[in-house]
A and B are shown apart, each in its own frame.
Chain A
Amino acid sequence: MLTPLHKRLLNDYQRDFPLSPTPYQDIALELGVSEEDVIDAFVELDEQDVITRIGPVIPPNRIGVSTLAAISVPETELEAVAQIISAYPEVNHNYEREHRFNLWFVVIAADAQHLAQVLADIEQQTGYPVMSLPLMEDYFIDLSFKLDLHDD
């Protein structure tokens, strides 16, 4: 269950996590609780699997190169193909979607050559062609997410 402290931590610290020697202490002061409460609450959020981590979000193609890729796989093979693709360290998101192209994943590499090699390797390992749709223009990227955490 999420406590009021959990909800504050989830909503208010997605963007500007304190860059000071004692960030958890800073948050504690802002919220009127103890540093230990804040650290414990973050550990609980992590254990409850509602956060991926506390960390940076890096815009696409600022460091390295990336692409959104899709593959069309028969339903019976989807799970096995998804496992093969998820195993690549260069793959970060990998989702099943309701479409003929039913598996969508993001590949990130240090340079274009490495990216192309990973895509070619995925095609070889899975036996299916990969459609690569690299970013051309970013109209908006704000991955912080305003959460409505009312219990409903």
Chain B
Amino acid sequence: MMIDDLDQRLLSAIQQGLPMSPRPYAELGAQIGLSESEVLARLTALKQDGLIKRLGVIVKHRQLGYRANAMVVWDIPDDQVQHIGQLISRLEFVNLCYRRPRHGATWPYNLFCMIHGKSKETVLQQLALLEQACHTQAFPKQVLFSRRCFKQRGAIYRKFEPATAHG
């Protein structure tokens, strides 16, 4: 689906955060020259079309006590990766599950998932459940717990400067 320039500007504006005031969509529209009703109609359409996956509160799970976060990766044969990926994605404690390319011998892993928990122990227990439920025990894997978070924020979609802007 194509989005037009106004949608692009609207997404860019709302990604800075919906104003916390009584008429937030009117305020948003005022920044980019759209009426409140146009803003609402466009956001509703973007959501229906799946270009907005969800609209709402974006929580900082770390600040809420979910301090352990593991990215778990496996090397799964290509003819099984989709099936296993779909099994993993059904588990309640998994938030993301992706297939990505391998990167030679340094990175032979092609299936990624993310598990958040209040402690490392919880995450490892959940991982053990996952391995049992999805029959992944036999495949090589790595568990990458997060340490410091240097940046977490939504993607900024905007009109990009020419690439030379970064030198």
Chain A residues within CB distance 8 Å of chain B:
9-10, 13-17, 19-25, 35, 39, 42-43, 45-46, 48-59, 62-64, 66, 68, 70, 82-83, 85-86, 88-89, 91-99, 101, 103-106, 108-110, 113-114, 117-118, 121, 131, 133-149
Contacts and interface: CB of A to CB of B under 8 A. Distances in A.
A98 B146 CA distance: 6
A42 to B, nearest CB: 5
Contacts of A144: 54, 56
Given A83-B150, A149-B64, A56 B94 contact: no
B22 A35 contact: yes
Contacts of B159: 110
Nearest to A22: B22
A147 B59 contact: yes
B166 A143 contact: no
B52 A143 contact: no
A147 B154 CA distance: 20
Interface of B: 3, 8, 11, 14-18, 20-26, 36, 40, 43-44, 46-47, 50-61, 63-64, 66, 69, 71, 82, 85-86, 88-90, 92, 94-101, 103, 106-107, 112, 116, 118, 142, 144-157, 159-160, 163, 166-167
Contact of B18 (A55, A70, A89, A109): A55
Contacts of A63: 3, 8, 11, 51, 157
Contact of B55 (A25, A55, A88, A121): A55
B59 A64 contact: no
Closest 9 CB pairs of A and B: A140-B89, A53-B17, A139-B85, A94-B151, A17-B56, A137-B99, A96-B147, A97-B144, A133-B100
Nearest to B25: A21
A19 to B, nearest CB: 5
B56 A16 contact: yes
Contacts of B167: 121
B55 A137 contact: no
A146 B92 CA distance: 9
B154 A88 contact: no
B55 A19 contact: yes
B60 A142 contact: no
Contacts of A94: 149-152
B139 to A, nearest CB: 16
A57 B59 CA distance: 12
Contacts of A95: 69, 146-150
23 contacts: A10-B64, A19-B25, A19-B47, A22-B23, A23-B24, A25-B22, A56-B46, A57-B58, A58-B51, A66-B155, A92-B156, A94-B150, A95-B146, A95-B147, A95-B148, A96-B148, A97-B144, A104-B71, A104-B144, A105-B151, A140-B96, A143-B96, A144-B56
Given A54-B17, A117-B166, A143-B54, A92 B155 contact: yes
